[in-house]
């Protein structure tokens, strides 16, 4: 039995030093909302992306919502996004009164530039580009389209902080970019996000004014997030013994721990915690992980290279594009009878990932409420039915990744003999 379960979404970035940061942050009650850690995160992003202004939010979708408002996107307008995504992307478009328009994807599981023009109308205002799983989209081709049609290009960097395209950092191509520091993103402060605008002075002023009007989350909300790393420090070692699962269930039942998506968001509704500024207590957690970003991504890339080497010759397992500039937040394989392989791993107490099994995740999203028509993105829906994510999180050991490969081979041998 492993000391830590192999579970792709259970606070995967958290290490003992992060737990210590959370404990210290929890005790420092007078600096929960405002403090010096916000400035440190802002300074890091300014330097990393060579921008003049960066704004921190309590979630990636708060960041996107405020970006859309800063570009005066609202009723009667359309924003093109990709299918094969999370409801956290179309929701902010709906919240500002605009309509999300879904484009199909290419084999990198990113928006397909070859199909983009068919979705552009006189109502189209912007295109949001998601670099899925940390694999860069064809951003140069997409940028040419946005320039031709005078559209705003927004980069969704929730999966791709640290990735590059032709040597240039993802997040540096668009008119604007936003980031997520969610619990299973590239770096984590449990909840959190950031946004910036390039070379659009009027819109940058709008964003500054919007940000200034925001307040910080209340202490109760902040405590829920800071407790998260501490709780999982005790839950994870017990998870495979069911006691950890029971503790997690109880903590969520009494709302001591928050969930990543609220039920109201499944129908395009606006949750009560959006939009707010990023509180200082969470900025501290984010900054601590930003300092480890390079190490995190080198480790993710090393695990991905291991999977490429070990899985390339297995029948009926299809690997993601081999891109040396990708960071592989998750290593997505395509396999028939995906759910069967997922259940096979569950027998061994391993929880693989299911982004984006529902084409617009998570399960329970009401497609009609978010303007998605089932069958409208055939390739994305096919990919959603085949996709299974292998973990690449930094604390995954060589023994763990080797065990995952061993089980895939075992599963493949068993099924190929039939």
Helix ranges (DSSP H) in 79-182:
90-95, 113-116, 139-148
pTM: 0.96
Residuewise pLDDT in 10s, the chain (418 residues)? 346 789 898 889 989 999 999 999 999 999 999 999 999 999 999 999 999 999 999 999 999 999 999 999 999 999 999 999 999 999 999 999 999 999 999 999 999 999 999 999 999 999 999 999 999 999 999 999 999 999 999 999 999 999 999 999 999 999 999 999 999 999 999 999 999 999 878 999 999 999 999 999 999 999 999 999 998 888 887 777 777 778 888 888 888 888 899 999 999 999 999 999 999 999 999 999 999 999 999 999 999 999 999 999 999 999 999 999 999 999 999 999 999 999 999 999 899 999 999 999 999 999 999 999 999 999 999 999 999 999 999 999 999 999 999 999 999 998 876 5
CA–CA separation, 326 and 109 (whole Å): 13
pLDDT of residue 248: 81
From 143, 185, 224, 277, the catalytic residue: 185
Rg (CA), the chain: 21
Query: For residues 172 and 177, what is the distance between their CA atoms, to the nearest angstrom?
Result: 8
The yes-or-no answer on residue 185 being catalytic is yes
Euclidean distance between the first and the last CA atom of the chain, given in angstroms as a whole number: 30
Contact between 352 and 401 (Cβ < 8 Å): no
Domains detected in the chain: 31-213 (3.40.640.10), 293-416 (3.90.1150.10)
The DSSP result for 45-74, as a single string, is HHHHHT-S--EEESSHHHHHHHHHHHTT--
Q: Give per-residue burial for 72-92: e unless 16+ CB within 10 Å, then b.
A: ebeeebbbbbbbbbbbbbbbb
d(CA 109, CA 320): 9
Sort 34 into a burial class: Cβ within 10 Å, 0-12 / 13-18 / 19+: middle
Distances (CA, A) of 101 to 155, 366, 377: 16, 15, 11
What is the C-alpha to C-alpha distance for residues 385 and 389, in angstroms, rounded to an integer? 12
């Amino acid at each position: 039995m492993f000391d830590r379960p192999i579970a792709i979404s259970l606070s995967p970035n958290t290490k003992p030093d992060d737990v210590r940061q959370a404990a210290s942050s929890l005790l420092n009650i007078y600096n929960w909302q405002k403090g010096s850690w916000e400035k440190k995160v802002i300074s890091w992003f300014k330097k990393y992306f060579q921008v003049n202004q960066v704004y921190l939010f309590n979630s990636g979708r708060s960041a996107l919502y405020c970006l859309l408002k800063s570009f005066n996107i609202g009723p009667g307008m359309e924003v093109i996004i990709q299918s094969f995504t999370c409801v956290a992307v179309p929701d902010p478009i709906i919240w500002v009164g605009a309509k999300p328009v879904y484009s199909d994807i290419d084999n990198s599981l990113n928006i397909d530039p070859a199909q983009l023009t068919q979705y552009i109308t006189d109502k189209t205002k912007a295109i949001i580009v998601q670099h899925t799983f940390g694999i860069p989209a064809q951003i140069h081709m997409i940028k040419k389209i946005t320039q031709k049609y005078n559209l705003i290009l927004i980069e969704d960097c929730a999966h791709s902080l640290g990735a590059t395209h032709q040597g240039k950092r993802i997040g540096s191509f668009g008119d604007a970019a936003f980031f997520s520091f969610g619990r299973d993103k590239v770096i984590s402060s449990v909840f959190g996000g950031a946004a910036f605008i390039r070379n659009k002075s009027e819109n940058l002023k709008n964003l500054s004014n919007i940000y200034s009007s925001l307040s910080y989350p209340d202490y109760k909300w902040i405590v829920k997030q800071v407790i998260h790393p501490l709780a999982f420090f005790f839950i994870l070692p017990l998870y495979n013994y069911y006691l950890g699962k029971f503790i997690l269930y109880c903590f969520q039942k009494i709302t001591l721990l928050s969930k990543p998506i609220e039920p109201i968001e499944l129908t395009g509704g606006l949750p009560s915690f959006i939009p707010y500024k990023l509180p200082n207590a969470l900025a501290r957690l984010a900054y601590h992980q930003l300092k480890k970003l390079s190490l995190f991504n080198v480790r993710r890339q090393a695990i991905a290279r291991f999977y490429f080497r070990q899985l390339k010759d297995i029948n009926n397992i299809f690997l993601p594009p081999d891109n040396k500039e990708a960071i592989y937040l998750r290593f997505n394989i395509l396999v028939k009878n995906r759910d069967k392989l997922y259940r096979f791993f569950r027998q061994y107490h391993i929880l693989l990932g299911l982004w984006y099994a529902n084409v617009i995740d998570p399960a329970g999203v009401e497609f009609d409420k978010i303007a998605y028509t089932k069958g409208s993105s055939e390739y994305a829906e096919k990919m959603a039915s085949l996709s299974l994510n292998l973990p690449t999180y930094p604390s995954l050991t060589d023994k763990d990744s080797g065990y995952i490969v061993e089980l895939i081979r075992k599963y493949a041998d068993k099924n190929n003999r039939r």
